[in-house]
């Protein structure tokens, strides 16, 4: 029950953020008609831009952490730490891909958590359904590490951090939070799949916001 309440709290926080952005944009451009159709469009654009901004910030901070580690412990040691000693982040990254692919209707064929070449892990899935649904599966599964990572990090802050009362608990919390964060970045293949399906995804988001009124109040 507490886990469900935490997820609802995360959803409410996201709803409030996007709703505030929508309201600010509507106020900033008074020539825009204030109706559900416009608000749904602004909400769609806001969500896409917020996710893009989150991805850019995450990549930038992750790179900065990598450079700081390289200065402190050397480039090779930093590479090993960031890519291999933060294995829980790899697990979270790959299962995020698999989860969103599965939830959107794709068939998950294989999940690999063993490094191979430059890939630390891999998820193979087969899109199913019509072209719009397949594009949605590709886009959402591609950006899944960012989406799921934001949810997981928020839950860690809300539910796990308050339980830390001794140094080793703080250390474990920091390790898992950092591991997940460092692996929230998207690969080149993820970005390609994301942009290949971005138009149908935007259309579906707009329809969802238009029908449900989510983020438009």
Q: So what's the pLDDT on residue 102? A: 93
Q: So what's the pLDDT on residue 115? A: 76
Enumerate the domain spans of the chain.
Answer: 2-25+34-212
202 contact partners, CB below 8 Å, separation of at least 6: 44, 48
Q: So what's the pLDDT on residue 175? A: 94
pLDDT in tens, the chain (217 residues): 554 444 445 455 555 666 676 767 767 777 777 777 887 888 888 788 888 788 888 888 888 888 898 898 888 888 888 888 899 999 999 999 999 999 989 999 999 888 776 678 889 999 998 888 888 888 889 989 998 998 999 899 999 999 999 999 999 999 999 999 989 988 778 888 888 888 888 888 888 888 876 555 5
SS (H, E, C) 56-73: HHHHHHHHHHHHHHHHHH
**Contact of 149 with 181, CB cutoff 8 Å:** yes
Smallest CA-to-CA distance from 58 within 186, 161, 179 is with 186
Residue 112, both tokens = 């690999």
Smallest CA-to-CA distance from 89 within 187, 184, 180 is with 180
Smallest CA-to-CA distance from 110 within 118, 119, 98 is with 98
Q: So what's the pLDDT on residue 13? A: 53
Q: So what's the pLDDT on residue 8? A: 44
């Amino acid at each position: 029950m507490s886990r469900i309440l935490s997820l609802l709290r995360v959803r409410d926080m996201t709803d409030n953020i996007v709703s505030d952005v929508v309201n600010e944009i509507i106020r900033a451009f008074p020539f825009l008609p204030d109706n559900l159709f416009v608000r749904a469009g602004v909400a769609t654009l806001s969500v896409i831009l917020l996710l893009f901004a989150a991805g850019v910030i995450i990549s930038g901070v992750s790179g900065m952490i990598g450079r700081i580690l390289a200065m402190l412990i050397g480039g090779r040691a930093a590479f090993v730490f960031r890519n291999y000693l933060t294995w829980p982040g790899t697990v979270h990254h790959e299962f995020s891909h698999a989860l969103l692919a599965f939830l959107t209707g794709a068939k998950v064929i294989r999940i690999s958590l063993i490094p191979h070449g430059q890939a630390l892990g891999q998820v193979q899935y087969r899109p199913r359904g019509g072209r719009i649904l397949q594009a949605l599966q590709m886009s959402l599964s591609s950006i899944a590490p960012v989406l799921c990572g934001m949810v997981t990090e928020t839950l860690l802050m809300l539910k796990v951090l308050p339980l830390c009362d001794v140094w080793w608990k703080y250390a474990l919390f920091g390790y898992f939070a950092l591991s997940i964060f460092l692996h929230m970045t998207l690969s080149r293949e993820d970005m390609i799949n994301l942009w290949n399906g971005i138009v149908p995804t935007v259309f579906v988001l707009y329809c969802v916001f238009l029908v449900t009124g989510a983020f438009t109040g």
